[in-house]
Chain A
Amino acid sequence: MSAQTETPNSRTIRIDPVTRIEGHAKVFVNLAEDGSLDNAGLVVNELRGFEKILVGMEANRMPHITARICGVCPTAHHIAASNALDHACGVVAPPAAMLLRELMYMGHIIHSHALSLFVLQGPDLVLGLDADPAIRNVVGIVQANPEVAKKALRIRTVGQRLNEIVGGRGTHPVTSVAGGITFVLDSEKRAMLQSLVDEGKQLARELAPVVKQLVVSMLEKHPAMLTDWVAPSWSVGTVLDNRVSLIQGNLRAVDENGSTQVEFPVQDYDKYMVESVVDFSYMKRVSFKKDGLLHDYRVGPLARINAMQQFNTEWANREMEEMLSLGGYPCHITLFQAYAKLVEMIWAIERADDILRDPAVNGETRVPVKFKGGRGVGHSEAPRGTLIHDYEIDEDGIVRAANLIVATQQNYAIINRSIEHAATSHVIGKPDDQALLNAVEFSIRCYDPCLSCATHAVGAMPMEISINRGGRTVKTIRR
């Protein structure tokens, strides 16, 4: 969707703020005079300006200060920054350090996907889009189904605890630095981690059927979600040894039919990713450039599976096969973001288990580094998609320039398209009902936009929908 000025005689529906996502946002839906959809968009209303804030800081702090870009996915920034510093110093972190970074990361993925599935999107899935807003929240889920709710919260705890034990802290981890990890795993920590992973496995076995059932019933209740909420686009994900990967590997872009168009090391990201300013939002959007043409694309759980249909663990592969048999390949069904998160959550638990059983995880974890002056580019697959950190660092180790591209920016075009789908199926021509408006919000929550990342800022506001005609507001709905 491109930014468009409002035409006279149109009406605008606004949702302000969008809640249960991470960030300050509002939505507008512009209707033409005949009531049909003109365009829709998500407005992101915060800017902190990290690309400027980081300049002049010591590079060695990047894994710590950039975590503060986002409290929901700090580990994604922590690791992307560490990778960028390794690149700037021309070192490869020792195998044990890479395994510990990955283990920390798997904990992070479990936390973030569980939070998204059960706390942010959960209320819509469990209680329905039309539930009373006063109870449509995690407390409502606890009351509706305390057993499932406790397990759901517990699996997030397992993930966050893994992240915390390896990362030193859960929110804003600290142990990954240029050259590796700041501690060596001892048997006491390993035992703690193992018991958490074992518990996580059991919880995932119990929760997987619940999540799948919720997705299926949502589709049964809202058939439009299967038929109309479909946004074909390119997908970008990270691939290592022909498997889905999160903190190492090349980026692979596949087109809407699933054919690989290009695969490249992250250092070449600026040859393919083009940002552009949207006049109604602090968040920039990103397009994928190939052979002179610009393409909308998605990143994140669904995109990772579209880019590479193979995990390095068995159970995740089985779940993925089941998902694709239901949603087709490549999958562009918005709601299947939730399904893909479940697949990845299972993978994260299995992979954490494999890492803990790998003797290599016990080795030395750090090599000395020196900033030579020059560029450092690194990335991670944040829970919501590809995250890139690009620094210019001088020989004194001071950051002279920074460029960040985050997941939600890359999903922006598709999020706006999904809002249009939801507005068409659930809002336009229907009575102005709260539940229908929540459908619009739900379509956004499928992407779990992390707006603190997206403008390298965050927040939220009261939802307000104003309907304009001929530039005059004729009706306002608040909740």
Chain B
Amino acid sequence: MSAELVTINTEWLSDCSGCHIAIVDLHEKILSVLESVKIQRCPVLTDVKDYPPAKIGLVSGAIRNEHDRHAAIEMRKSCDLIIAWGSCAVFGGPAGAGNVHTREEIADAVYLQNKTTSTSSLPSREISPLEVSVTPIDKVIEVDLYLAGCPPHPTYIFDALVSLLEGRQPKATKESVCAKCKRQMKKSDLDTIKQHTDGIPDPELCFLSQGYICMGSATIDRCLSPCPTNGIPCTGCAGATMQILSEPNRDIRTEIAERMARLTKIPREDIIKEIEKSSKSHYSYTMASSMISEKPTFLINKWIHEANEDYEAAHG
């Protein structure tokens, strides 16, 4: 390790600050990181308010408004290497789920048609206007490395930082969440899908074998699989696996359906239909990414529209 400290800038755009907290969650390791790096701009930790030149730039969050766009560009200009940090920066994240609505619909829900809001006006000055849609940061600036995860587990952040400091490529594995899940896959004779609230799942068996939709097989491991380990089906927060991202005709829903149909007697089509029916839940972290939204079979607006029509038909 050279005595020369490696300079780091971080920036958050439209996100929850969880990725920044994940750095603090390095716990004791943070002190060893601090021995070799100099954190300059880091909104949650320091008072540096401009963009000093830096070796590494960590950008979390999606581009939601003009300020985000501007900040991303400033980070690119000031940093030699940019890491898209966390699912919002890489895929758009939950903010990206706003893309199935117009800006007007969002403002309407928050400010005009909101049950506890007494005023009937919109914020109009000082604020940075929303852009037409939410985008991952690589739509606006060039990205050198992608570190998905919501937030990425501190282990992955630590590995990325240490590798960069030592001049190595980070060990970003291509495994899915299933890789570290200890549940047993067993074939079963189930022929219908269970909702997550149906009964109480067996703690040892693969959720798919039990008829519960779990997104583990379609989701990249940037978390060490805590959800299935602790009794919760994966909700896909780290985004899609490399297989899905790199092949146009593979998709989150088809991937899950294939695996689940092999483990159970539930027809593949039923599973696909089910995931489409609540597509907003299953694509909540990734729908703003062109790698998902430009797939030939991805029709989220149609699915949401159809689900709403079914609801309307049933409720008059």
Q: Which residues of A contact B (CB under 8 A)?
A: 16-17, 19-20, 22-24, 26, 28, 43-53, 55-58, 60-61, 64-65, 68-72, 74, 89, 115, 119-120, 123, 133-134, 136-139, 142, 150, 153-154, 156-157, 160, 168-172, 174-175, 177-179, 182-183, 269-270, 273-282, 284, 286, 366, 368-371, 390, 394, 396-398, 401, 403, 405, 438, 452, 457-464, 478-479
Contact = CB atoms under 8 A, between A and B. Distances in A.
Contacts of A89: 197
B26 to A, nearest CB: 10
Interface in B6-31: 11-22, 24-25, 27-28, 30-31
A265 B97 CA distance: 32
From A23, A24, A133, A370, name the one whose CB has the most chain B CB atoms within 10 angstroms: A24
A157 B31 CA distance: 13
Given A51-B109, A68-B18, A61 B235 contact: yes
B49 A452 contact: no
A109 B246 CA distance: 42
B44 A120 contact: yes
Contacts of A270: 115-116
Given A71-B17, A452-B16, A58 B278 contact: yes
Given A49-B98, A68-B94, A172 B117 contact: no
Given A137-B45, A276-B119, A58 B196 contact: yes
Nearest to B153: A169
Contact of B237 (A172, A366, A370): A172
A110 B127 CA distance: 34
Nearest 3 pairs of A and B residues by beta carbon? A71-B18, A182-B231, A460-B43
Nearest to B66: A45
B50 interface: yes
Contact of A172 (B64, B101, B150, B195): B150
Contact of B235 (A46, A50, A64, A461): A64
B34 interface: yes
Task: Tell which of B20, B122, B281, B308 has the most Cβ of chain A within 10 Å.
Answer: B281
Contacts of B67: 24, 45-46, 459, 461
Contacts of B46: 19-20, 133, 136-137, 139
A139 B235 contact: no
A279 B17 contact: no
Nearest to B37: A139
Contacts of B50: 462, 478-479
Q: Which of A50, A286, A370 has the most CB of B within 10 A?
A: A50
B239 interface: no
Interface stretch (B163-171, B172-180, B222-230): B222-230
B121 interface: yes
A460 B12 contact: yes
B307 interface: yes
B247 interface: no
A64 B101 CA distance: 21
B145 interface: no
B224 to A, nearest CB: 9
Contact of A274 (B118, B197, B229): B118
Interface string B39-72: 1001111111111000000000100110110010
A51 B278 contact: no
Given A74-B16, A398-B278, A20 B44 contact: yes
B47 A22 contact: no
B316 interface: no
A174 B44 contact: no
A284 B94 contact: no
